[in-house]
Amino acid sequence: MSTTPHGAQTAAVRGDRTPQWAELSDWVQAPRAGGSQGSYRQYDLRQAFADNPQRFTQFSLQAPAVFADLSKNLWDEQVRGRLLSMAQACGVLQQREAMFTGAVANPTEGRAVLHTALRAPRGQGLHSEAVHGVLDRMLAYTQGVRDVQKSGIRDVVNIGIGGSDLGPQMAVAALDAQVHPQLRFHFVSNVDGHDLAPVLRHLDPQRSLFIVASKTFTTQETLANAHAAKAWFLAQGGTDIARHFVGVTTNLQAAAAFGITTTFGFWDWVGGRYSLWGAIGLPIAIALGEDGFRDLLRGAHAMDQHFQQAEPQANLPLQLGLLDVWYRNFLGFSSRSVAPYHQGLRRFPAYLQQLEMESNGKSVDVQGHALPYATSPVVWGEPGTNGQHAYFQMLHQGTDVIPVEFIAVKTPTHGWPDLHRKLLANCLAQSQALMLGKSAEEAALERPPTASASIAPEVMARHRTFAGNRPSTTFVLEALDPYTLGALVAMYEHRVFTSAAVWGINAFDQWGVELGKVLCNQLLPRLDSGNTSGLDGSTAGLLKMLR
């Protein structure tokens, strides 16, 4: 149950308490009556395509700026239909409306969840005046920085971690072709000085702008790095901290105490990992300028509208979230790999890790009851084709089935069409290979030059067999521009929301990060004193070694 600001309650039923959950569980175990295939555990994609020439069209969805081919997934209309009716039984659509309209969707912190308001056009979303007030001020500020002749700025250093780092870092890398050509962007997150040192080594303090980005302005890593950067700035003869340090935070007081006078605020109803759309997006706005940043917001807003308005049969984030539940809870897949075939998206898997795993890595439901089923999969990946030469071996022939998500971009921003054709061919080939596989008979017909002559051909063939039938989704983007990136990221946000809504968990808190922070603060003085009393044997032994 979540409560709207007007007190209305929205029904939320946990997925496993719906009849559809029980039905889907049966279908995974037992052969299906009347179907050409056995149980869904044996579902064969190759057979499914042979049986249904319309499968690609039937399982493709077009959302704003994102086309998705869901046909190479281990499902059919029956499963999709049952998942959609399970979503209805869980009240996913009501929960969606509750979030969009400002209900307390993060009950353990008593907060609304309104990152969608950050990208709503002026006058259309909740808190519009406040949101657009900060946005206008921030964009006016970015114009000043981007006027490099006047501002003198050449290097922008974002100091932040988690949601105050990954989103801006991912977006600035992704949209590299549109980034101001005379500005360089650096992202320092780790409390490891090896992160800060190589950045500072090349900076001129008078030409540098430091953005201290922290929702709470209490995060150890960010404050330590910000203080170190400030000390370096002063030691290098830097003057005018107020001009060279800017803060992005909900804690304006703490930023002022640091000595920062220019701050851009946001609100507790914006979660860290959902915050790139507001002030945390300052580096993106400096990099792209006003038009680019507004395009990013427009793309995300278009996806919000799609998620809110598209029929379930055509609703991409909804179907992706349900497919995730199907794979995790019914087919038992514990991980999902993301392979963006665009080097600009190299930080996208890391961004998605926080978005999905910090949101849905929970083991109790909203009421605090232990869950009898699995939640967030492990999300991981690398850009293609690099991943192909590293871990794809395991995707093709390993013992686990890992659904893969390919992201293909039709139009590049570089001028080498030949490279791009090769990239796209690789992308298509991988999803094809995962699905088609290679039988032992096919393998036996081949004589690879590097195969050992001392191994019997039938044994060799077994090493070179691919089971195939490995599922994948392919997203196609026309171009990687701000609008498209906005839509893509918002699609993932809503997908994570959908699976969380079925699982009945709070996707917007992150209590699991607390314990380590507390223990770190307790260990810090022990590193100085060497006092190991009361510590477990391993921690005590390691602490002694590290002093």
Residue numbers of the site for ligand F6P (CB under 6 A)?
A: 161-164, 214-216, 219, 222, 272-273, 358, 510, 513
Nearer to ligand F6P by C-beta: 19 or 512? 512
Task: Count other C-beta atoms under 10 Å from residue 289's C-beta.
Answer: 18
Nearer to ligand F6P by C-beta: 268 or 442? 268
Q: Closest separation between CB of residue 353 and ligand F6P, Å? A: 12
Q: Closest separation between CB of residue 164 and ligand F6P, Å? A: 4
Distance CA 63, CA 316 (A): 6
Q: Closest separation between CB of residue 163 and ligand F6P, Å? A: 3
Query: CA torsion sign, 349 to 350 to 353 to 356?
Result: negative
Nearer to ligand F6P by C-beta: 159 or 302? 159
Q: Helix or strand or coil: residue 446?
A: coil
Nearest to 409 by CA among 179, 167, 67, 144: 67
Nearest to 404 by CA among 320, 339, 489, 316: 339
Nearer to ligand F6P by C-beta: 13 or 212? 212
Structure tokens, 522: 């307790």
* Residue 27 · residue 34 · CB < 8 Å: no
* Residue 503 · residue 313 · CB < 8 Å: no
Could you please report the per-residue DSSP string of 72-107? TSS--HHHHHHHHHHHHHHTHHHHHHHHHTT---BG
- E strand or H helix that includes residue 420: helix 417-436
Q: Which of 227, 369, 410, 517 is catalytic?
A: 517
Q: Which of 202, 227, 389, 544 is catalytic?
A: 389
Q: Closest separation between CB of residue 255 and ligand F6P, Å? A: 12
Q: Closest separation between CB of residue 271 and ligand F6P, Å? A: 7
Nearer to ligand F6P by C-beta: 354 or 473? 354
Q: Closest separation between CB of residue 132 and ligand F6P, Å? A: 22
Task: Count other C-beta atoms under 10 Å from residue 31's C-beta.
Answer: 12
Q: How many Cα atoms are found within 13 Å in the side-chain-facing hemisphere of 495? A: 20
Q: Closest separation between CB of residue 250 and ligand F6P, Å? A: 8
Q: Closest separation between CB of residue 386 and ligand F6P, Å? A: 27
Nearer to ligand F6P by C-beta: 254 or 320? 254
Nearer to ligand F6P by C-beta: 66 or 161? 161
441 is catalytic: no
544 is catalytic: no
Alpha helices in 437-513 (DSSP H): 440-444, 457-463, 482-503
Structure tokens, 427: 């992308």
Token pair 């946001």: residue: 266
Q: In degrees to the nearest 10, what's the CA dihedral of 134, 107, 217, 253? A: 60
Task: Count other C-beta atoms under 10 Å from residue 188's C-beta.
Answer: 26
Could you please report the per-residue DSSP string of 22-87? HHHHHHHHSPPTT-SS-SGGG--HHHHHHH-TTHHHHTEEEETTEEEE-TTSS--HHHHHHHHHHH
Nearest to 466 by CA among 439, 442, 431: 439
Token pair 């309650």: residue: 9
The three state secondary structure string of 187-252 is EECCCCHHHHHHHHCCCCHHHEEEEEECCCCCCHHHHHHHHHHHHHHHHCCCCCHHHHEEEEECCH
Q: Closest separation between CB of residue 161 and ligand F6P, Å? A: 5
Nearer to ligand F6P by C-beta: 39 or 251? 251
Nearer to ligand F6P by C-beta: 128 or 216? 216
Q: Closest separation between CB of residue 200 and ligand F6P, Å? A: 20
User: Which residues make Cβ contacts (< 8 Å) with residue 281, sequence separation at least 6?
Assistant: 167, 168, 171, 275, 293, 296
- E strand or H helix that includes residue 379: strand 378-381
Q: Can you say whether residue 335 is alpha, beta or left, with left for phi > 0 and alpha for psi between -120 and 50 degrees?
A: beta
389 is catalytic: yes
Nearer to ligand F6P by C-beta: 90 or 489? 489
> What are the residue numbers of the active site?
358, 389, 517
